[in-house]
Chains A and B, each alone.
Chain A
Amino acid sequence: METQALIIGGGTTGTGIARDLALRGISCILIDKKDINAGASGANHGLLHSGARYILKDSETAVECRQESLLLKRLAPHCMEDTGGLFVALPEDDDTYIARFPELCRTCGIDCQPVDAAQALHMEPCLAPDVKAVFAVRDAVVDPFSLSLDNAADAQANGTRILRNARVEGFISHKGRIQAARIRDTRTGDTFQIEACQYINATGAWADKVAAMAGAHISMLYSKGSLLITQSRINTRVINRLRPAADADILVPGGTVSIIGTTSLEIDNLDDIRPTMDEVDTIIQQGAVMVPALATTRYIRAYAGVRPLVKNGGDAGRAVSRNYTLKDHESEGLENFVTITGGKLTTYRLMAEKTADIVARRLNNRHPCRTADLPLPSSSKGAWTEPGKAPRSRAARAQSPGPSSGNTLICECEMVSESMVDRIVDSLKAEGRPPALTEVGQRSRIGKGPCQGTFCSFRLAAYLYRTGDLSGDQGLSQIREFVNERWKGLMPLVRDRELVRMELQESFLCGLFNMDADGWTPNP
């Protein structure tokens, strides 16, 4: 395979770069070792920062967040919910910081309005009654899945090819120039090569490893952040704790749920990223100080992502800059390799623009960046990832008469119908690969409701067999994979109610279906 630019990493940054380059007329291939948003892009708060969180430690990031969030609200409104946000201080929070907060916001140009505590409790009844200071800021909520899928769809519409399950295993270089990337198809095990003029490393926390394959060096720190999803939506606006950044101090609403997080835990291995029971307990305990209902509410799932932080000195954890790092690697003698990592979801577009500028310059492409003025088209690909969206659209359709065929629900918790699955499967197949259950799950709400895949994984598999998209006995291993993906998020949460759910699920999968021991033959 040949292309002008090979983009490695299908997160928000990678898909953003693909769209940016494609709009400049540059041919691209985007690859991801797993799937779109399989890394940190799919495991964050979905918060479009006003910038106020970074005013103390990182004013540059704060300003970028302010500019980019305003831009994205205008250009990609279908991926957003413009909720607004509050910063709230509790009795134990530092008065000096509270006093400085409005001034620091002003310095960064961030809109920040004081709110009377009683008024704040009226706006957000879930708040702890003893809040002592509240400010309103212009935070918003973004669905990172629909954002990345829409960027990917527009890139594809402009000629980009996307390959899932394609992992870089190495580069073939000659005199400082990479000639080809060696790729392995992680589903089939096949290897192949992609020859490109420019190679873009947008692999997030894996950036140091991919750079090392190209002979470049980046010193990184992996900071795991875990979050919890509540069963129902608790708050209307984003609620931030008004204190220097710490654990579990942001509660973000999204569709029909709320998300509380995060933690910051330094790890040294990226192989099995999952939230721990300790983190879950910390989040609930800390979060409940700000929003007491978090101590008693029901949680659907926990998840974790890794912040790709680049070390520039002796700082650790939360002290390391949230700003992005863009390296052209020219001082290391590499002329067609670039790395972009770090940064925020909020600033992904800017990161993509800066990266694309380098790549376009190297390719002698004079077209300017268009992503700051062209709206992001809404695609059907990213349409079904937002909590609560599918039920709303279903309810709207039910008002109009018409045949109900194709409306059979595969996921009853989140109301995902066969026709929605059809569209997702079609878009996956258009990328030249058969769909996997986890990939359909990634692009919809299937498995993300209270049953956590117990029923819908089977219904989805049965449906895909019926349509001919699954065959042989691959369904069983795919159901196991799907269930274990959900289990990862359920296991650290397990207490009373979760044990009930787990017992029901295990009764079906192991007690009734024998999925734990099927395939083991009886002792002679």
Chain B
Amino acid sequence: MDPKPMTDTVIHTQLAVIGSGMAGMAAAIFARNRGITTVQVGRTSEMSFASGCLDLFSTLPGHPPRVFADPFEGIAALVKARPKHPYAHVTQDQIRNGFQEFTRFMAQAGICFHGPDRDVNQQMITPAGTLKPTWQVPAAMIAGARAVAENQRIGLVDIQGLKGFGARQMAQTLKTKLPGITGATIAFPGRETAGDLMYERLAWDLETPAVMDRFIQRLRPHADPVEVLGLPAVLSLYRFEAQRRVLEQALGRPVFEIPTLSPSVTGMRMKEAFLGKPGGTGHHHFPVAVSGITRDRDGFGFLVTRGQEPVEIRARYLILATGRFLGQGLGVTADRITERLFNLPVTQPSGRAGWLCRDFFDPEGHPVNRAGIETDGFFRPLDAAGSVFDSRMYAAGSILAHQDWKREKSGSGIAIASAFRTVSHLTSS
């Protein structure tokens, strides 16, 4: 007996990916490459916070934290210390293959990632004047990572009125690690007296060659004494590589971008590459939140809207990549952490009093951040009895329990590796 369709428009698909953050994106890419018909839902706003680099792993939280130069060595120690960590369910080869497939897709869409020469994390300069270990760095930022590795004379330049990015602050803070670094401020051509500058305006202005020429003239005195120049990411969302080459040629030295505090342009570019045309995954994508997903013997069903029109989605398999609190994969009901779509059991501290550390920066990490859903070795969520909840359902990314991606610097890595494992498994079944 067929269930009565809820609307006129029904899309039958093999896979539904719930979530459009890093894990949902990765899952959609892997599904596309395997010819799996896919419908993806979820808002993509969280990508505006992504750094644009792909982290794998660097830090094992604790007192003191253990920082690993080699992420795979770190993962081995991590899995030993936390045997239920998501990385315990994937092999080194699966991680490498996942990254390779993901970055190959991104390269076709216009963002070229550079991995390290050896298995050693690269160091990215952040707007806080810190160094952040990461694995894959986009071309827009690679000259910065190389300059740090080779201890070159780096010049940082900020723009008057563009907030959350202070070249002097960054240079002075980094000086102990990079003695040759300097910082300076320029006024943006044509916007010398403006109060608050918005990124979009600047990127748009720089599309005009005359503005670009004056921008270059103002950068030149700060570029001349240094080997490499770092700027806030203000180049176009789409033509950023061509624009950067113009800068590099005119200034005669490598130029790199650093993501601003918010929005993070380098993260937005990844989102555009993923959704954009040409490129993109070619899947149906509905940028809406879903609720009320039903399950029956044929799979999963739910409603989305396209414009005003309701569309029913029927999917054989489902990947839950709804994220944590920000992504609304997890929530709180009566002081217990709950999973929002299927009410899956959530592993968590015994009470609210045990969620948090008194020191925000406690190197152990807040226990609430390791709360999440339990899965089997193929990332299939478990029910309260510890059995697979539904053999056609998987979970990927930060909703998984036993990880603390912010402290481990493992967000992209967990997203990509779990999505890769998940899609590989459902393809084989």
The yes or no answer to A407 lying at the interface (CB within 8 A) is yes
Would B68 and A523 count as touching, CB distance under 8 A? yes
Would B368 and A507 count as touching, CB distance under 8 A? no
Would B355 and A494 count as touching, CB distance under 8 A? yes
A-B contact count (CB 8 A): 175
Q: Given A479-B128, A499-B332, are A408 and B161 neighbors across the interface (CB < 8 Å)?
A: yes
Give 1 or 0 for each of B46-68: 1 = CB within 8 Å of chain A CB. 00010100000011010011111
Q: 8 Å CB contacts to B: which residues of A505-524?
A: 506-518, 520-523
Would A458 and B406 count as touching, CB distance under 8 A? no
Query: What's the Cα separation between A277 and B353 when bound, in Å?
Result: 7
Give 1 or 0 for each of B213-246: 1 = CB within 8 Å of chain A CB. 0000000000000000000000000000000000
CB-CB under 8 A from A521, the residues of chain B are: 67
Would A455 and B261 count as touching, CB distance under 8 A? yes
| Size of the chain B interface, CB-CB below 8 angstroms | 65
Determine which of A403, A461, A514 lies in contact with B166 in the assembled complex, contact meaning CB atoms within 8 Å: A461
B82-90, B171-179, B421-429: which lies at the A interface? B171-179
Query: What's the Cα separation between A461 and B168 when bound, in Å?
Result: 10
CB-CB under 8 A from A523, the residues of chain B are: 66-69
Residue of B nearest to A520 (CB): B67
Residue of A nearest to B334 (CB): A495
Query: What's the Cα separation between A250 and B207 when bound, in Å?
Result: 57
Would B164 and A462 count as touching, CB distance under 8 A? yes
The yes or no answer to B407 lying at the interface (CB within 8 A) is yes
The yes or no answer to A470 lying at the interface (CB within 8 A) is yes
CB-CB under 8 A from A515, the residues of chain B are: 128, 130, 361
Query: What's the Cα separation between A491 and B354 when bound, in Å?
Result: 11
Would B406 and A473 count as touching, CB distance under 8 A? no
Q: 8 Å CB contacts to B: which residues of A479-511?
A: 479-480, 483-484, 487, 491, 494-496, 499-500, 502-504, 506-511
The yes or no answer to A472 lying at the interface (CB within 8 A) is yes
Query: What's the Cα separation between A484 and B356 when bound, in Å?
Result: 13
Would A507 and B326 count as touching, CB distance under 8 A? yes
The yes or no answer to A96 lying at the interface (CB within 8 A) is no
Q: Given A403-B193, A455-B261, A484-B361, are A462 and B166 neighbors across the interface (CB < 8 Å)?
A: yes
Residue of B nearest to A495 (CB): B332
Give 1 or 0 for each of A298-319: 1 = CB within 8 Å of chain B CB. 0000000000000000000000
The yes or no answer to A107 lying at the interface (CB within 8 A) is no
CB-CB under 8 A from B332, the residues of chain A are: 495-496, 499
Q: How far is the CB of A499 from chain B (nearest CB, A)?
A: 4
Q: Given A408-B195, A465-B166, are A491 and B128 neighbors across the interface (CB < 8 Å)?
A: no
CB-CB under 8 A from B409, the residues of chain A are: 511, 514, 517
Would B261 and A518 count as touching, CB distance under 8 A? no
Name the interface size band of chain A.
Answer: 35 or more
Query: What's the Cα separation between A504 and B327 when bound, in Å?
Result: 10
Query: What's the Cα separation between A513 and B164 when bound, in Å?
Result: 12
CB-CB under 8 A from A269, the residues of chain B are: none
Query: What's the Cα separation between A511 and B406 when bound, in Å?
Result: 4
CB-CB under 8 A from A212, the residues of chain B are: none
Determine which of B51, B58, B195 lies in contact with A407 in the assembled complex, contact meaning CB atoms within 8 Å: B195
Residue of B nearest to A506 (CB): B406
Determine which of A277, A404, A461 lies in contact with B352 in the assembled complex, contact meaning CB atoms within 8 Å: A277
CB-CB under 8 A from A475, the residues of chain B are: 129, 169, 172-173
Determine which of A409, A458, A472, A484 lies in contact with B127 in the assembled complex, contact meaning CB atoms within 8 Å: A458
Would B193 and A514 count as touching, CB distance under 8 A? no
Would A514 and B326 count as touching, CB distance under 8 A? no
Q: 8 Å CB contacts to A: which residues of B234-266?
A: 259, 261-262, 264
Give 1 or 0 for each of B310-347: 1 = CB within 8 Å of chain A CB. 00000000000000111000011001000000000000
Residue ranges of A at the interface with B (Cβ–Cβ < 8 Å): 274, 277, 403-410, 455, 458-459, 461-463, 465-466, 470-473, 475-476, 479-480, 483-484, 487, 491, 494-496, 499-500, 502-504, 506-518, 520-523
Question: Which 9 A-B residue pairings sit nearest by Cβ, starting from the closest?
Answer: A462-B166, A465-B169, A511-B406, A522-B69, A518-B130, A513-B128, A496-B332, A404-B195, A514-B132
Given A470-B169, A511-B406, 5 new contacts (CB under 8 A): A462-B168, A465-B172, A494-B355, A514-B126, A515-B361
